[in-house]
Amino acid sequence: MTDPGRRGGFTLIEVLISTALLSFLMLLAGVVTRGSMTTTGQGIALDSADGRVQRALERARRQLASASLATLQAEPLDDPTLQPMTDAVAYDNVAFRQVTGFAGGEPLLEPDLAAAPMRLWFEPAGAGGGTVWLDDGAGAVALVRAVDALRITKAGRRLDLAIDFARPAAVASSTMRLAVALVVP
């Protein structure tokens, strides 16, 4: 039997304990949610950076795939004069002409020899990283920004491109590479 003078309910201590437990659980849920949001944001930033560099390398590959091996020129780091590319030397730029066909056994070049060649180059810009540019004759276009370095190396009939780019602070910087086989003279 219950005491007729006593009402049902919780004591003050029971309410305080349950409030403290509920507050702790809410805090724990907030910490977990914030951590997952941070991780998701970093993953999106990594995918974005990787995607930008992959698109830049793909565009460079399309331009360089039909480049004439005989027209490859670059400026060595210590000399601002265009010179024929040398095997196993890393450059941060390349000038080239594309082969669009053949006439009388000779390649037809675009742009022709009277015009300036197409160019791919790296332009440093300080702490924020530099920009990889492409000039296909219609004007210069920024392929990718926030790049630490571009290395172009000729190896026989192949061009190797490597783009170093910064990733978010929690992750080390990264390098993406592309090899383009040059099959035309």
Give a yes or no: residue 20 inside a domain.
no
Mean pLDDT of 14-30: 94
Which residues contact residue 75 at a Cβ distance below 8 angstroms, ignoring those fewer than 6 apart? Answer: 81, 82, 83, 91, 93
Give a yes or no: residue 7 inside a domain.
no
Please, are residues 126 and 97 in contact by the beta-carbon 8 Å criterion?
Answer: no
Give a yes or no: residue 138 inside a domain.
yes
Per-residue pLDDT reduced to its tens digit, 60-81 = 888 888 888 889 999 987 788 8
In this prediction the pTM is 0.69
Give a yes or no: residue 6 inside a domain.
no
Q: How far apart are CA 158 and CA 172, in angstroms?
A: 29
Q: Which residue has the tokens 């172009």?
A: 152
Per-residue pLDDT reduced to its tens digit, 92-127 = 999 999 999 999 988 899 998 999 999 999 999 877
Give a yes or no: residue 10 inside a domain.
no
Give a yes or no: residue 38 inside a domain.
yes
Q: How far apart are CA 139 and CA 43, in angstroms?
A: 34
Helix, strand, or coil (residue 155): strand
Position 5 scores a pLDDT of 67
Give a yes or no: residue 163 inside a domain.
yes
**Number of domains composing the chain:** 1
**Does the pLDDT at position 26 exceed 60?**
yes
Measure the CA dihedral 165/168/172/177, to 10°: -30
Domain limits for position 56: 31-181
> Would you give the end-to-end CA distance of the chain in angstroms?
105
Q: How far apart are CA 94 and CA 83, in angstroms?
A: 10
Give a yes or no: residue 17 inside a domain.
no
Helix, strand, or coil (residue 31): helix
